[in-house]
Structure 1
Amino acid sequence: MNTLEAIVIAIVEGLTEFLPVSSTGHMIIAQKLLGVQSTDFVRLFTVGIQLGAILSVVMLYWRKFLAPLSQNAASQDAPSLVRMEVKFRFYLKLLLAFVPAAFFGLVFKSVIDTMLESVLVVAISLVAGGVVLLFVDKWFNNQPDSDEEPTYPKAFKIGLFQVIAMIPGVSRSAATIIGGLTQKMSRKAAAEFSFFLAVPTMAAATGYELLQTWQLIQPGDWPIFILGNVVAFVVALLAIKGFISYLTRHGFKVFGYYRIAVGVIILLLLAFGVDLNMVG
């Protein structure tokens, strides 16, 4: 992987990580189209640049992570004990939502790794998920406009939706946002909780991959890894701001059409003998 290829893949990650279009699927497609070989470093890179995207969430919502107080729960003038209790509840909800993906990710890691190599799986998932997004606005068109956090049981249920996103092309963001909508959250609240949940989920995935493969990486590869994270961080900052604004006003339908179009194009390429799975 050269510097230009790393920048392109990092831009794809930053643009798509928090959109309901599947960042993993898009990075797999980008890697195949660029002809990037699937080496130990490339696998680490595509997972590791999620660190940049994670930091973008923490930066944009730093008050939530450092002092997560909802307007209804407490104010900045509340006693420190109350603030600590609210902070504890926030992190406990994230932990509950994170547990299902952590469990299934460890149990089915080999299966997931195999699917990550398949562009066909990505294409089918993009189309299927796109069809779902075409109807999400109609299914949940009367949700309250609220910024409140989910309860503990609702947080765990949202976490179950995140398990579905282990299939490449499904989209972690789409799965968890829809999970939030099923729990009567508003679009904005569901999207923001999806962003918050991405932090422990992606941090764990990246940390695990680093522990498994860092010793196999050549010293000269680390500047590219760092550059990729910087690019993903900057692009994700812009993507998150734009997505929240667009989603609140317009909903999911455009993302559904986009997913279907990309998925169909990939299926057609495969049908005409373009062996995308074997590139690299």
Structure 2
Amino acid sequence: MDHLSAIILGVIEGITEFLPISSTGHLIIAEHWLGERSDTFNIVIQAGAILAVTVIYWRRLLDLILGWRQPENRRYGIRLLVAFAITAVLGLVVKKLGFTLPENIAPIAWALIIGGVWMIWAERQAAKQPDSSRVTWLVAIVVGLAQVVAGVFPGTSRSAATIFVAMLAGTSNRAAATEFAFLVGIPTMYAASAYQLYGAFKEGAPHEDWSALGIAFVVSTITAFIAVKWLLGYIQSHRFTAFAIYRIVFGVLLLGAAALGWIA
């Protein structure tokens, strides 16, 4: 049963980490039924999702590194680093302030609903702008800030927050905004995972079911790879409206379940 739970959580993480529907929110909800997992477990399955996206974008990353002398690549790379630096610095500040994730469902449900409504509005506003794939300094700054906000409010979704602030700030092309958001997410999430893992081992070697953890990591990696590849194809000809509607419906169902006492 523990291995089955690991598979389920790996699938949830893989699907939701980069789709704009909130991985943290879904995992917290899943743990209400499957039991809480250790920080190490959550870090490792998240690392699986990051690895999948790294594999998908390896050519783009290699091109940015090897082609650093090209002005276009250098400008893009510096903006990636600026967005990452903003997230890293403010993320450490939030950590020092002692922020903890909510233990009940209501805040997550409201974040899902509000985020869904905001996504619909934001995409309509972005559609009024000229189509642009250009990443400006403003885009880099707001994406960095959006990652911090998403980390503070589970249910917001890091990918949703970063993609849509990028679109509103000038990168109105869905594919370009998504690529920048995902590329910023790679070093951000690797750094966050390493920091959390260091803290977990610093407190003592965690007692884990390593076979279950390994299964969850593999499942998360494969599922995330499939989910992201599908998403990148989907957004070429579709808006994000379906994800926004899903968030709103799911959030309302969670509030209803909480009102009935089915979940806390």
Equivalence for 1:98: 84
Matches within 5 A, 1:3-18: 3-18=3-18
Question: What percent identity do the matched residue pairs reach?
Answer: 39
Match of 1:55 among 47, 51, 58: 51
| 81 and 268 in structure 1: CA distance in 2 versus 1, 3 angstrom threshold | closer
For residue 94 of structure 1, report the CA deviation from its aligned partner.
Answer: 1.8
Q: Is 1:119–2:108 an aligned residue pair?
A: no
For residue 121 of structure 1, report the CA deviation from its aligned partner.
Answer: 1.5
| 101 and 112 in structure 1: CA distance in 2 versus 1, 3 angstrom threshold | farther
The DSSP-based 3-state class of the residue aligned with 2:144 is: helix
- Distance in 1 separating the partners of 2:186 and 2:253: 32
Does the Cα contact within 8 Å between 1:94 and 1:196 map onto a contact in 2?
A: yes
Does the Cα contact within 8 Å between 1:136 and 1:252 map onto a contact in 2?
A: no
Moved more, 159-168 or 169-178: 159-168
For residue 119 of structure 1, report the CA deviation from its aligned partner.
Answer: 1.9
The DSSP-based 3-state class of the residue aligned with 2:164 is: helix
- Distance in 2 separating the partners of 1:269 and 1:244: 33
Does the Cα contact within 8 Å between 1:115 and 1:121 map onto a contact in 2?
A: no
Match of 2:62 among 62, 66, 72: 66
Does the Cα contact within 8 Å between 1:180 and 1:190 map onto a contact in 2?
A: yes
- Distance in 1 separating the partners of 2:23 and 2:242: 17
Listed one character per residue, the Cα deviations across residues 124-157 of structure 1 (whole Å, up to 9, x for unaligned) are 1001101112223321114455544x13343122
Question: For residue 18 of structure 1, what is the amino acid of its counterpart?
Answer: F
For residue 64 of structure 1, report the CA deviation from its aligned partner.
Answer: 1.3
For residue 222 of structure 1, report the CA deviation from its aligned partner.
Answer: 2.6
Q: Is 1:205–2:189 an aligned residue pair?
A: no
- Distance in 1 separating the partners of 2:33 and 2:130: 42
The DSSP-based 3-state class of the residue aligned with 2:156 is: coil
| 14 and 112 in structure 1: CA distance in 2 versus 1, 3 angstrom threshold | farther
Matches within 5 A, 1:210-221: 210-214=197-201, 215-218=204-207, 220-221=208-209
The DSSP-based 3-state class of the residue aligned with 1:82 is: coil
Equivalence for 1:235: 223
Does the Cα contact within 8 Å between 2:14 and 2:219 map onto a contact in 1?
A: yes
Match of 1:184 among 154, 162, 170: 170
Equivalence for 1:157: 142
Gaps of 5+ in 2: none
Does the Cα contact within 8 Å between 2:123 and 2:164 map onto a contact in 1?
A: no
Equivalence for 1:255: 243
Does the Cα contact within 8 Å between 2:49 and 2:220 map onto a contact in 1?
A: yes
Listed one character per residue, the Cα deviations across residues 34-71 of structure 1 (whole Å, up to 9, x for unaligned) are 2x135xxx2221233121111111111111111228xx
| 239 and 105 in structure 1: CA distance in 2 versus 1, 3 angstrom threshold | same
Equivalence for 2:212: 224
Question: Structure 2 length as normaliser, TM-score?
Answer: 0.89
Moved more, 153-162 or 255-264: 153-162
| 5 and 253 in structure 1: CA distance in 2 versus 1, 3 angstrom threshold | same
Does the Cα contact within 8 Å between 1:100 and 1:160 map onto a contact in 2?
A: yes
RMSD of aligned Cα (Å)? 2.3
Question: Structure 1 length as normaliser, TM-score?
Answer: 0.84
Does the Cα contact within 8 Å between 1:97 and 1:158 map onto a contact in 2?
A: yes
